Amino acid sequence: MNQFVEKHCRNQAKAVLPVSKATMKALQARDWPGNVRELENAIERAVISSRGAMLDLGDALPEPGPPLAAEPAGGAGGRQTLVQLEHDHIIATLERLRWKIEGDEGAAEVLGINPSTLRTRMRKHGIRRPAQ
């Protein structure tokens, strides 16, 4: 974990931020179903958003979702297809961020993609912001 902190501090031209024991415990307690990439992305977001002298997780940790086997039926064997998972994940992220697509803490940044890519995927899936 420290190697990711060092890497992203260098990339952001920040002094290497120390990681508190509480932060380390929070990171180690997670399941990280997206493997090491998900962990690295969370650390990168924390480095970017940290304003103090210590690494602050803030909203960098994604909300844990239900295990894949518990997803609603949609495909063969009660499992969702990748297209369905992407659709649901985009909608969940947009709703959690109040449909903010780009900018600091926008859905595109959280999802780790370019805002134009997010808009393309939204069109592909027929995702539109609900009328208010």
Summarize pLDDT for 26-35 with one digit per residue, the tens: 888 887 776 7
Going by the DSSP 8-state scheme, the letter that residue 64 receives in this structure is: P
For residues 52 and 31, what is the distance between their CA atoms, to the nearest angstrom? 27
Rounded mean pLDDT, 39-47: 84
The chain-wide mean pLDDT, for the chain, equals 80
Close Cβ partners of 84 (under 8 Å, ≥ 6 residues apart): 74, 75
Could you give the 3-state DSSP secondary structure of residue 74?
A: coil
Token pair listed for 64? 């844990």
Token pair listed for 33? 């179903």
Token pair listed for 117? 């890519």
Rounded mean pLDDT, 116-120: 93
pLDDT band with cut points at 50, 70 and 90 for residue 99: very high
Cα–Cα nearest to 100, from 121, 78, 119, 126: 119
User: What is residue 71's predicted lDDT score, i.e. its pLDDT?
Assistant: 44
User: What is residue 63's predicted lDDT score, i.e. its pLDDT?
Assistant: 60
Could you give the 3-state DSSP secondary structure of residue 132?
A: coil
Percent of the chain with pLDDT strictly greater than 90: 26
Token pair listed for 121? 């995927």
> What are phi and psi for residue 55, nearest 5 degrees?
-70, 125
pTM: 0.46
